[in-house]
Amino acid sequence: MFYRNVITEFRKWASAADRKPLILRGARQVGKTTAVDMFAKDFDLYISLNLEKKEEAAIFNKNLSVEELLQAIFFIKNVSYSKNKKILLFIDEIQNSPPAVAMMRYFYESPKNLHVIGAGSLLETMMGDKQVSYPVGRVRFIFMYPMTFEEFLRAADEEEAVKLYNQVPLPEYTFSKLMKLFHTYTLVGGMPEVVKRYIKNEDIVGLKPVYQGLLTAYLDDVSKYARTPAMEEVLRHAIETAPFEAGKRIKFHGFGQSNYKSREMGEALRTLERIMLLYLLYPSTAAEPPAMPDKKKSPRLQFLDTGLLNYTVGLQGHFFEYDDLHSFYRGTLAEHIVGQELAAVDMNSDKKNSFWVREERQSSAELDFILPYKHYIVPLEVKAGKTGSLRSLHQFLDRAGHPFAIRLYSGPLQVAETSTPAGKPYKLLDLPYFLAGKIYDYMRWFIDPA
């Protein structure tokens, strides 16, 4: 059982004066239940319900008041309620009972010593299909993702590396070791069961059954949320081919070299986005706030986990041939793992990262990511090696009202003062890939030094 950063968010939630019932959202097998089980050690009493069990789901079908429902739960679990005890109630696989999901709103008025968390692998499809509505302001959401690089370091007992990783700025002597560890993390990915097996045996070949088991489980789930048998086939195709399209801008029509039309494939991909198996990142054309994503333009596809991507596409052998993540698979892998790290930075929002485009007849430009920071939009480029053209970044800066830019690459941390070809002076922060998860800490250090 590895410590997950989401437990820190749980503790903030539990201590809040205006605490609301919590809905934990995340893809299947990212470690939601295990994280709650670990968090439960903070409590005097832990009650866990799994609504895949019919007898436990049936409690919510009796139209009971909150008080009566709690009495029934305590009775079935054979525990005594005490107002002097700090209690955690965890309702897992909550999507199996629409009445249970609806009841979450009423737990807001439950006793203050009672903390309630709901979670479920397919809850998002229920929400998307509007089987259940949540009143605004009555529940709180936290979003959970595969393990981050920092969590991977903790799992590998690299405690000193974790300490230095969180030090801003990073000491120069840590660069080589952290880059090597990040290379391994990118190979393995962040799915907890995979990480657990790798940490134990350090055998990449032995991970194949675990990866395949995860993919098979995702495919087996399709029948639970497909509207029709025909949509089942579209969803299966989307899951099987998404890793091959990850990191690219995609078209819905004919996605994954299929004959599927735009409407049916768009529905399939948006369904998989709701259950957090993939993300559709849309571009913006703005260099000044607000940078609203343009959903009329082609999105870029981000898959759940880079380790699963490596396994599916067959990239694992390349990790032993190259030191730089940008040296193979068209440079897509470095950009993809950066996207995975950025997604996990904010667990309190499901807002997606955007990228920037300028699409004109004469020339076009595309910038890997744009990040909001105070009243700025900061450009972020993921580049090959320690050099490489920054043409798109320069075009963005010439339109932006500030002089700050960031490049993630395979070199050490450094700050340079330079200028665009058009003559605009700017400051460039170069960061090694492995600091993607600390990007906002470094933006504060870079833009607003004490």
Instruction: Indicate the residue among 98, 128, 143 that finishes a domain.
Output: 143
Q: State residue 328's pLDDT score.
A: 52
User: Domain containing 86: what range?
Assistant: 6-143
Residue 221 lies in a domain: yes
Do 83 and 197 belong together in one domain? no
Backbone phi, then psi, for 184, in 5-degree steps? -65, -45
Do 136 and 158 belong together in one domain? no
Residue 79 lies in a domain: yes
Q: State residue 134's pLDDT score.
A: 59
The separation between CA 84 and the C-alpha centre of its own chain, rounded to angstroms, equals 37
Strand residue runs (E) in 327-363: 354-359
Taken in order 251, 257, 258, 259, the sign of the CA dihedral is positive
Give the HSE-up count for residue 354: Cα atoms under 13 Å, Cβ half-sphere. Answer: 23
Do 259 and 322 belong together in one domain? yes
Do 179 and 314 belong together in one domain? yes
Residue 441 lies in a domain: no
Do 22 and 97 belong together in one domain? yes
Q: State residue 135's pLDDT score.
A: 55
Residue 82 lies in a domain: yes
Do 182 and 326 belong together in one domain? yes
Do 120 and 188 belong together in one domain? no
Do 124 and 14 belong together in one domain? yes
Q: What is the pLDDT along the chain (450 residues), one digit of tens a residue?
A: 799 999 999 999 999 989 999 999 999 999 999 999 999 999 999 999 999 999 999 999 998 999 999 999 999 999 998 889 999 999 999 988 889 988 998 898 888 999 999 998 787 666 555 556 655 678 999 999 999 999 999 999 999 999 999 999 999 999 999 999 999 999 999 999 999 999 999 888 899 999 999 999 999 999 988 889 999 999 999 999 999 999 999 999 999 999 999 999 999 999 999 999 999 999 999 999 999 999 999 999 999 999 999 999 988 766 555 555 555 545 688 899 999 999 999 999 988 999 999 977 767 899 999 999 999 999 999 986 555 679 999 999 999 999 999 999 989 999 999 999 999 999 999 999 999 999 999 999 999 986
CB 289 within 8 A of CB 372: yes
Residue 86 region, left (φ>0) first, then alpha (ψ -120 to 50), else beta? beta
Do 191 and 325 belong together in one domain? yes
Residue 354 lies in a domain: no
Residue 429 lies in a domain: no
Q: Any idea what the CATH number is for the domain that residue 86 is in? A: 3.40.50.300
Q: In 3D, which of 327, 340, 214 has the Cα closest to residue 281?
A: 340
CB 64 within 8 A of CB 28: no
Give the HSE-up count for residue 39: Cα atoms under 13 Å, Cβ half-sphere. Answer: 28
Looking up tokens 């605004």, which residue turns up?
136
Number of domains in the chain: 2
Residue 296 lies in a domain: no
Q: State residue 247's pLDDT score.
A: 93
Q: For residue 307, which amino acid is it?
A: G
Do 242 and 266 belong together in one domain? yes
Do 170 and 139 belong together in one domain? no
Q: State residue 36's pLDDT score.
A: 98
Backbone phi, then psi, for 404, in 5-degree steps? -115, 135
Q: State residue 329's pLDDT score.
A: 46
Do 181 and 236 belong together in one domain? yes
Instruction: Indicate the residue among 113, 143, 173 that finishes a domain.
Output: 143
Burial class of residue 424 in the structure, from the number of CB atoms within 10 Å of its CB (0-12 exposed, 13-18 middle, 19+ buried): middle
Q: State residue 95's pLDDT score.
A: 87
Residue 398 lies in a domain: no
Q: What is the pTM of this model?
A: 0.93
Instruction: Indicate the residue among 298, 332, 366 that finishes a domain.
Output: 332
